[in-house]
Structure 1
Amino acid sequence: MDELFKGVADPVRREILSLLRLQPLNVNQINEHFKEISRQAVSKHLQFLEESGWIKIYQAGRERYGYLNKAAFYALKEWLDAYLQWGERSLENDHGVFVEEAAYKQGSPLTQPVMLQAMLSKDKDFDGLFYNAVRTTGIFCKPSCFANPRPDNVTFYITREEALKNGYRACKRCKP
C-alpha cells in the first residue's frame, strides 16, 4: 500500500494517470503532454508508476505503451472502503473521525475509544449518552459541543450528575 501512495504523491504522476484513464498511450504521446519537463523526467515518472504498480508498460516493437493497472485502483478502493463503509454522512460537522458501527451498538456499554471518537467527530447521536469534562477548564460538555479540548485533558462521565459531583460546571455553549 505504501508504494501505491508514493506513486500518486507527485502531481505529474497523477496527471499521467489521468491521461491513461482515457486510453493507453505510447511514451511519445505522454511526453508531448508535458512540455515544461524533460523527456527523461517523464520517463522516470513512468518508471516510478510502473514500479509502484499503478501502470503497466507494454512493449510493441520499438514502441512502449503505458496503460492503467486496474488491480492497483481496486487495492486502493478496498483500503478506502474500510473507512467509508459506514455509508453517507453529513460532511457539515465532519471532523474526520469515524465511529465504527461494530464498535458501538445502541445500548452497549460505552468504551473510552468510542467516546473519544464521538467527541472528536462532534457526533450528535451520542448527546445524552455521556459527557466530556475538561480538567483544565473545569467545564463539562455534550459530545457535539464545538469546544475543542485536548483529548488528554478530557475525562468522560456517563451522567450529568456525575460530572457535577466531581466539581465540573456545565458548558455555556452547549448547555448539557
Structure 2
Amino acid sequence: MDELFKGLADPVRRQILELLLQQPLNVNQINEHFSDISRQAVSKHVSVLEDCGWIRIYQAGRERYGYLNKTAFYQLKDWLQDYLNLDQRSLKNDHGVFLERTTYKKGSPLTYPVMLQAMLSKDKDFDTLFYNAVKTTGIFCKPSCSANPRPDNVIFYANRDEALKNGFRACKRCKP
C-alpha cells in the first residue's frame, strides 16, 4: 500500500493518471500537457508511477507507451472498501467516528466501545440509554452533548440517578 500512496502523493502524477484514463500515451504526448516542467521531470514521474504499480509501460518501436494498471486500482479499492461500507449516517457527525448500526441493537446490553463511539459521534439515538460523566469536571451529560471530554476521563452510567449518586452534577449545556 505504501508504494501505491507514494505514486498518488504528487499532483503531477495524479494528472498523468487522469490523462492515461482516456487512452495510453507515450512520454512525448504526456509531456505536451505539462508546459511548466521539463521532459526529464515528466519522465521521472512516469517512472515513479511505473515503479509504484499504477501504470505499465510497453515498447512500440522507439516509443514507450504508458497505460493504467487495473490491479493497482483494485488494490486501493479493496483497502478502501471497509471504510466505504461504513454506515452513511455516521459520516455526518463532526468527529469522524463510525458507528455501524449492526454494532448495537435496541435492547442489547451497551458495551464500552459502543458507548464511547456514541459519545464521540454525538449520537442522539443514545441520549436516553446512558449518560457519560467526566471525572475531571464532576459533570455528567447526554451522549449528544456538545462538550468534548477526553475519552480517558469519562465514566458511563446507565441512568441519571446513578451519576448523581456518585457525586456528579448535571451539565448545564445539555440538561440531562
Taking structure 1 as the reference length, what is the TM-score of the superposition? Answer: 0.89
Matches within 5 A, 1:72-83: 72-83=72-83
Q: Can you list the C-alpha shifts for 1:51-97, whole angstroms capped at 9, x where unaligned?
A: 21211112211111111122222222222220121343275434211
2:165 is aligned with 1:165: yes
> Distance between the aligned counterparts of 2:141 and 2:65, measured in 1?
59
What secondary structure sits across from 1:145 in the alignment?
Answer: coil
Q: Can you list the C-alpha shifts for 1:26-71, whole angstroms capped at 9, x where unaligned?
A: 1111111112222222222111111212111122111111111222
Q: Retained in 2: the 8 A contact 1:86–1:101? A: no
* Residue matched to 1:67: 67
Letter in 2 for 1:154: V
Q: Can you list the C-alpha shifts for 1:127-150, whole angstroms capped at 9, x where unaligned?
A: 222211111211111111111111
* Residue matched to 1:145: 145
* Residue matched to 1:22: 22
Letter in 2 for 1:77: K
- The two structures, once aligned, show a CA RMSD in angstroms of 1.8
Q: 1:68 to 1:153 in 2, by over 3 A?
A: same
Number of paired residues?
176
Matches within 5 A, 1:114-133: 114-133=114-133
Taking structure 2 as the reference length, what is the TM-score of the superposition? Answer: 0.89
Moved over 6 A (4+): none
> Distance between the aligned counterparts of 2:100 and 2:5, measured in 1?
24
Structure 1: which 5+ runs fail to align?
Answer: none
Structure 2: which 5+ runs fail to align?
Answer: none
Q: Retained in 1: the 8 A contact 2:130–2:157? A: yes
Q: 1:31 to 1:149 in 2, by over 3 A?
A: same
% identity of equivalent residues:
79
